[in-house]
Amino acid sequence: MTAGGAAALLALCALAAAPPADAHVPFLEPDRASDAPAVQRDPFPGAIRLPDVAVSRAVYGTLAPQESFDVYRFKVSRPVSTPVEMLAPKTGEYRGFRPAFALIGPGLPAAGAEPAFVRERLRAAYTAVSLVPGVYPRVLVVPDPGAVERPAFYEPFSFSSYYRGGATRIDLRPGVMYYLVVYDPAGQAGEYALGIGEAEEFTAGDALRSVIAVVRIKLGLYGQGAFHWRAAVVMAALLAGLVALLVLLVRRRLRGRATAAGR
């Protein structure tokens, strides 16, 4: 078993025993591109939909080679102020990987130099729309701070350390579509994570889904072009081992109860 596989199995056992406290609910980028051409009133029709971002979530994604950006879309059902933070794995290969992100939507505070591809898509999507204040989307660009030594922290859910990147807090309106675009100004590829939201609502269903998510994170089974048969076989073996372990633990517990009752 690989070191990553062993770590994943340990993570599975820990999650099976008890879901982590104060944890982000994981969301893994699906294996598809999100850069479909702009259409009227939608600059990013291929955007990946995020669940309620008022809930504390960790979005794990990958900027694949030859991929200019990833983009997510979301709405909220009530007014909410939410933090957003960019993270990159703390490894040697990502020492120079400093992805940025841009938030797009009506009413956001416009700031930073928007990327050319964002500007072109907005023009293409809203050429026929009257530029009424509050309707045309505004762009908030959050770059990497650029410090030589980036602060880092250990993320217990994925058993990994991450560099901290750009961060902001935004006020969101209910019923409005927002876009979150991840890109690297230098054109580099690599893995990233986004911390978004702060309300802790880690349900039993989230805990079960996290058992699968942590294995996929450790094996890199997320993002465009991430599927590999060899890794899938390892994942299946790990899950089979977890099921066997859980069955064994349940049987021992039932046997112990039966013994205690017979005394």
Structural domains of the chain sorted by starting position, each given as residue range(s) with its CATH number in brackets: 24-201 (2.60.120.380)
DSSP letters along the chain, please? --HHHHHHHHHHHHHHH-PPTTPPEEEE--SS---PPPBTTBS-TTPEEP--TTB-EEEEEEE-TT--EEEEEE-BSS-EEEEEEEEEE-SGGGTT---EEEEEETT---BS---HHHHHHHHHHSTTS---TTTS-EEEEE-----SS--EEEETTTTEEEEEEEEEEEEE-BT--EEEEEE-TT---EEEEEEE--B----HHHHHHHHHHHHHHHHT--STT---HHHHHHHHHHHHHHHHHHHHHHHHHHHHHHHHHH-
Query: Mind listing the pLDDT tens digit of every residue in the chain (263 residues)?
Result: 444 444 444 444 444 444 443 456 788 888 888 999 999 889 999 999 998 887 888 899 999 888 899 999 999 888 999 999 999 999 888 888 999 999 999 889 999 999 999 999 999 998 766 555 556 789 999 999 987 788 888 877 667 889 999 999 999 999 899 999 999 999 999 999 999 987 665 555 555 566 666 666 666 666 665 555 455 565 566 666 667 777 777 787 777 676 766 66
pLDDT at 249: 76
pTM: 0.74
pLDDT at 248: 78
